[in-house]
Structures are given as C-alpha cells and as structure tokens.
Structure 1
Amino acid sequence: MSIAVSAVIQPSRLLLALVGGMSTILLSIAALIATDSIGNLSLSARIVLAGLCASVAITAFSRAMFRKTKYVIHISGTGQIRLATEKRNEQAIADSAAESELVHLLPVSTIWSGLLLLHLQNERQHTMVLTILPDMVSAENFRALLIACRWIVLRHADAAEPDIRH
C-alpha cells in the first residue's frame, strides 16, 4: 500500500464561519458588559472589559478573514513530508514540489477523523501548526491525508520503542 498523497489546502470557510460566530457572541458580551446588563462592575471596569472583549473579537475575525494562504502538502510513499505555500498565480502541484521545504510530523499532532492539527517542524527547528478541516480539501484527499498521517505517527512510534527482547 502506498501512502503517497499530494493536496492543496484551501482556507476554510467553516473555520471562518465559526470564528465569525464566536466574534459575534463576544461582541454581544462586550455590549452587555458596557451597558451594565450583567455583573455589578464599576464604570472603569466595564469600559476595560468591554473594550477587551471587543478588541479580541475584532482581531480574531480580521485575522481569520484575511488569512488566505494556500498550502501544498506532499507526502511520499516513505512518509517524507514536503510543505509549500502556493503562489497567488495558482501554480500546479508539481511545480510547487521544487520550492517546498522538508518538514517532520511531530508526535503531538492531533489526528482525528474530522480534524487534523499537524505540528510540523523544519530543519531549522521552526514549528508550525497546520489545521486541516474536511472543507479545506476534497473528501478523497482528506481521507488520504488522514491515513498517511496516522501511518507516519505509527511508524515513528514503532521506531521509538526500545527492543526489550533478550
């Protein structure tokens, strides 16, 4: 069985909707705090808390809204992972392989059937977390990525276990 897979990871509309909903709720809480509808706080405390809630909501939504980075991930049949940022001119997947960097999947990665939080580390020891939701790739690519990442984690876990046979 070959685990080789290549996929273009698009920005998630689902994640944008979830962050938008969270931001709306947080702005509502800020309004409730500012109008003294909840809690028994002084005027200065209400202003500070309402401002803090509003600034977190606006920052989170704006970061989610303007994050339009597409990634291209290549996993070879041996489990080697290459990651590239796709250029704005929509390069082909094969072209991005030459400009990609080799990364390693760390064991702290979360690999669930509906969510991949891949902790990837390059040769310079820089770590990034790549979030992959089912709406970011095709269903076939998501399943292939899920299987490949599980295989890599299991392979590294087997390699890390000491041989205790005598």
Structure 2
Amino acid sequence: MSIAVSAVIKPSRRLLSLVGGMSIILLLIAALVATGTVGDLSSLARFVVGGICAIVAVAVFLRSRAGRTTHVIHISGTGQIRLRTETRNEHADVDVAEGELVRLLPISTIWPGLLLLHLQNERQQTTVVTILTDAISAEGFRALLVACRWIVLRQVDTTESDIRH
C-alpha cells in the first residue's frame, strides 16, 4: 500500500462560520457588560471590559478572514512532505514538485473529522494547517488522514528504536 497523497486544501467555510459565530457571541457579551446588564462593575470598568471584548471579537474575526489561504500538500510514498501555500490569485493546478520540504511535528492533531497539521520547515518555522472535512474531498481527506497517521506511527517507531540503543 502506498501512502502517496496530493491534496489541495481550500479554506474551510465551516471554520469561518464557527469563528464568526464566536465573535458575534463575544460582541453580545461585550454589549451586556458595557450596558451593566451583567455584573456589578463601575462605569469605567464596564466600558473597559466591554471595549476589550469588542476589540478582541473584531480582531479575531478579521485575522481569521485574512488567514484564509489555499495549501497544497504532497506526501510521497516514503513519507516526505512538501507544502505550498497559494495566494488567492493563483490557480489550483500546480506542480507538486514545487513547495517547501516540511516535517510533521508530533504535536499535530489527527482526528477523523479534523486535522491540525503542525509542519516545520528546515529553518525551524512552523506552519499550522487546519483541515476540516469541508476543505477537501471526502476521499482526499481520508487519504490524507491515513498518510498522516502512518507518518506519526513511523516517527514513534524510529524514536522507540533510538531509545533502546
């Protein structure tokens, strides 16, 4: 069985919706605190806490929208990973040989419905790629999930054999 996978991961609409919903809830909390409906704070404290909540809500939502990029991941049959981050003006038909060689860090989250891939390049810079099931086809998600699990298990086996010697 080969674990070779090439996948184009588009920005998740579901993730943007979730972040947007949480931002709206935080704005509602900011309004409740600022109007004095919740808590026994002085006028100044209500204004400060409400303002901070509103600023954080808007900043998180804007940061989430700005970080929406398309990633191309290519995993070879030996487990070598190449990552390419595309800007919005590029098209998805790319050469998989391009991109930067990265390694999958053990702190990555690999669940059946969510992948949080922590990928580190040769300069020790880490990129976190969030992959929900709506960002890629169902068969592409499954293939990527299996390949990432295989890489993690291979890393664990290598580490254990190094410890024994």
Q: 1:146 to 1:52 in 2, by over 3 A?
A: same
Match of 1:135 in 2: 134
Q: 1:164 to 1:149 in 2, by over 3 A?
A: closer
Unaligned residue ranges in structure 2 (runs of 5+): none
1:129 is displaced (CA, Å) by 1.2
Match of 1:21 in 2: 21
1:165 is displaced (CA, Å) by 7.9
Q: How many residues are matched?
A: 164
CA distance in 1, matches of 2:147, 2:44: 53
1:127 is displaced (CA, Å) by 1.2
What fraction of aligned residue pairs are identical, expressed as a percent?
67
* Deviation by residue 1:116-166 (Cα, 9 ceiling, x = unmatched): 111111001111211111111111100000000000000110111037889
Conservation of the 8 A alpha-carbon contact between 2:9 and 2:135 = yes
CA distance in 2, matches of 1:105, 1:152: 8
SS state of the match for residue 55, structure 2? helix
TM-score, normalised via structure 1 length: 0.93
* Deviation by residue 1:62-94 (Cα, 9 ceiling, x = unmatched): 12223331110000000000000124230413x
Q: 1:49 to 1:79 in 2, by over 3 A?
A: same
Q: Given the alignment of the two structures, is residue 3 of structure 1 paired with residue 14 of structure 2, yes or no?
A: no
CA distance in 2, matches of 1:50, 1:9: 37
TM-score, normalised via structure 2 length: 0.94
Q: Given the alignment of the two structures, is residue 113 of structure 1 paired with residue 108 of structure 2, yes or no?
A: no
Give the residue type in structure 1 aligned to 2:128: V
* Deviation by residue 1:7-43 (Cα, 9 ceiling, x = unmatched): 1110110001001110110000000001100000011
